Structure 1
Amino acid sequence: MMTNLFSSFDPTTSSNTSLNWISTFIGLLVLPTMFWMIPSRINFLWMKILTVLNNEFKIILKIKKMKISILMFVSLFTMILFNNLLSLFPYVFSSTSHLILTLTLSLPLWISFMIYGWINNTIHMFSHLVPQGTPPILMPFMVCIETISNIIRPGTLAIRLTANMIAGHLLLTLMGNTSTKLSIIMINILILSQCLLLILESAVAMIQSYVFSILSTLYSSEVN
């Protein structure tokens, strides 16, 4: 049972252990079934989505042989999408609402991009610090601005995903807590509003997983 408004975002249980994080790996019990069950419409739909993502990432990365990079970003999209949708179910721990998970995804990616770029394409990385056509007098300021914007990239990726997931969950919780003080007509309106908000949150879950993966792909393309 939830004891307060933020109980769904508490990573610990009553036994003071982080068992709630097991919800992140529930998909391992469901996903392998597509390898032995008769393909359904959901399987065909999912394969269509993966094909579209594969073609889009291939255009951004501009690579033909390094298919492992595309597989990594598609897997990243799949993991975030599954956890976002799973957190919409009642009494399921919302793992993507925590910076400890989102930073774990974004920070290693950004560090690996930076190490690869500065070691293999040093001149190319320096050229990104000064946009083309910048007046000479503004070059020192542009270097500072571009450096800061580059450093905060993993933080913006993580905070964007976390904030969008927390906002919808809190709004649903706040609306649900007011149901005991409303009349029958207002409760019906409240249920309808929550259903519409839940549909919106499902769209946000899909959009945010796409935004996280596509921005990671764009950051990767800049170091090549």
Structure 2
Amino acid sequence: MIRVLLADDEAMIRAGVAAILSADQDIEVVAQAEDGRAAVEQARATRPDVALLDIRMPVLDGLAAAEEIRRVLPGTGVLMLTTFGEDAYIERALGLGASGFLLKSGDPRELLAGVHAVADGAAFLSPKVAHRLLTQLSGDRLGRASAARERVAALTPREREVLTLLAGGLSNADVAGRMFVVEGTVKAHVSTILTRLDARNRVQAAIIAYEAGLV
């Protein structure tokens, strides 16, 4: 069972998202919050597998809440809920350790897929968010590509193979199956990859892989 904390300051949004999540028999909404500070407190109390946070919330916004939750509960994955026009927050949230982004106006199936992916240790960006992010990154493509290739060069061939699969959205279990190794081996590779790339999470690592031309 995937245990989810849901935080949004709009009651109707919370109710709608909670209803979608509850329709999945493998997901349980264990706590809800209407501001960032309450989200952090609920996370400490319930230790969810996934924290689903709105970016704009009172008292403490979603970005600050995400940073605090990742600091005190590194095993909890963070998914951010966003709307069009909030592109400036995307890279900031990724830098703080968020594992994915979902659009409030997106397909409910994306919400469920995102929660499952992050709970499984993978990253998830809704297709529209991914397109906008890659469009932003294309602005300084040559400089970013050169820097990314230098960082990837520090990896072993095996680690580059793992990175390529991660960038394709595969979970640790999927990578293990593809490479015919145990999941613990993949986790060890991922840990080393993040350290060598100086990436805070799998999304940042995937972006580096994209910029370096691995995917």
TM-score (norm 1): 0.28
More helix by share: 1
Structure with higher RCO (Cα < 8 A, 6+ apart): 1
Q: Which structure shows the bigger proportion of residues in strand conformation?
A: 2
Bigger Rg over Cα: 1
- With structure 2 as the length reference, what TM-score do the two structures score? 0.29
